Amino acid sequence: MHTDRTDTIDPGSAAAELRTREVGWDGAVAPLAEPDYWLSLAADLRAVADLVGSLAGTPAHVSFVTVGICAGLVPSEAPDGIATVDAIAAAFGGSASTGHHNGSALWEHRVDPRVGEVVLSAFAIVPKPASVEDELRAEVEALRAQLAKGGAR
């Protein structure tokens, strides 16, 4: 799991001590709250952007750029993975779909929104649907829910 960057601080240093506790206005010492995963990831992506920016002036031969988020590698994680992929899709103004993607033999719940030149691929491996009929029913249900919310975006 992604965490804050305390792993790069010498454990015996004063900086490490500051990162593991905080002192309240009343002088009480309390452990720091666990950093939010998404905020920590956003900070890491900003650091990546800075490093990419350092390539300015370098000749570029780039076909495409992707950022990948795997929300579940085994079907038993599917409920949580699907919820995460759906949240990512919503944050990027899209919707996820379930099926075989990019020629994969696996069933995935996936969204691939694009931001400028970057494709964000978020997916979770899901169990194979019971039948094509069940898959179509689920798609119809998703479309009805979309229409109930005001239609396609």
Cα–Cα dist 92/113, whole Å: 7
Does 139 lie in the same domain as 108?
Answer: yes
Indicate if 45 and 68 belong to the same structural domain.
Answer: no
Which pTM was predicted? Answer: 0.61
**pLDDT tens-digit map of 101-145:** 777 778 899 999 999 999 999 999 998 777 777 778 888 999 999
Give 103's DSSP letter: T
∠ at Cα 93 (65, 133), nearest 5°? 95
Strands 108-111 and 118-125: antiparallel
Mark which of 41, 61, 81 sits at the end of a domain: 61
Residues 13 and 82 in one domain: no
Q: How would residue 25 be classed by pLDDT, with cut points 50, 70 and 90?
A: low
Residues 94 and 142 in one domain: yes
Let me know whether 105 and 90 are in one domain.
yes
Whether residue 23 is found in the same domain as residue 69: no
Domain that holds residue 89: 64-148
Structure tokens at 136: 């179509």
Q: Which of 11-15, 82-86, 124-128 has the lowest mean pLDDT?
A: 11-15
> Tokens 């479309």 map to which residue?
143
